[in-house]
Amino acid sequence: MPSSSPRVSPRISRSVPGMTSIFSSASLAALVYLGLAPRLNKLLYRPMLFFPTRFPSDWGGNPVLHEIEGEDLFFQGKMGQRLHGWYFKNPGSRFTMLISHGNSGNITIRDKLADIGLSSGCSVFVYDYQGFGLSTGKPSVEGICDDAEAAYDCLTGELEVAGSDIIFYGESLGAAVSTYLSTVRGCSAIILQSGFASLKRIAGEHFPLLNLYPPSLFPKPALDSVSILKQEHPPLLLIHGDRDRVIGVEHSETMFAEAVSRKKFLRLPMTAHADIWDTARHEVVTAIKEHLGSLD
């Protein structure tokens, strides 16, 4: 008898119509979402956050303020960048103000800010982040925080300034840098001018689509001043103009409300984002002097 093989039924593969395309679309959307995340796409967000200018080729020499000439200082950043700053040694002053400036220009447009520091009785060290002025490299959130640490270490190392005699002064973006710096280096006080409560909050205000991203997908350090000020911190002076349309005064209101240590808020009704030296110089200098006087 002829042998016979068992009959095997063919296997039929079935799929739900459209499921493959749905999964593909979801995967593509997830990739786009992650690819546009602020923490992962530095090339996209760098020109949105930083507006550096190089040092003018026709610069006529270091500024002289209060008969004090700014001394060129070059120091090394964490990743080998060559960073540049000016140091104004104010004879007889106890405190040195370490100025971290905003997200545009370079130190050549910070002479009026340095003048406020000198008028307040401090020596002043103002520096450029990587990619600004004569400082080499390209800026990033992590990089400018590293640069602040390097500037501080230059002050305490090469210039032999005691950490307890250093005042952190932050302007705009530099306010968040100064607040961060207070978590990793010691100081006597913090002064925050025209600063934002957190990078995530100000980014969402200017670019609403960024509200789709959680804090974990924003750059690190987080530049979240509110979270820092909710912990013990050095004596704090906040300065903000009511007419600020770049960073609303509400940001400083939040920081002041959440700060847990000694604090004072100088609110300037006629001042915008970057004109304190023209609209309220006397009030600012007086407030800084009082702030410093309370440290004795």
User: Catalytic residue positions?
Assistant: 172, 244, 273
Partner residues linked to 189 by β-bridges: 167
Longest dimension (CA), the chain: 119
Token representation of residue 53: 């200018």
Q: Helices then strands (H, E): number in the chain?
A: 10, 12
Partner residues linked to 169 by β-bridges: 99, 191
Location of structure tokens 């934002």: 196
Contacts of 22 by beta carbon, 8 Å cutoff, 6+ apart: none
Measured in whole angstroms, the distance separating CA 171 from the mean position of its chain's CA atoms is: 9
Location of structure tokens 């996209």: 44
How far apart (Å, rounded) are the C-alpha atoms in residues 173 and 4? 84
Taking Cα atoms as reference points, which of 177, 167, 170 lies closest to residue 235?
167
Q: What is the helix (H) or strand (E) element at residue 71, kind and residue range?
A: strand 71-76
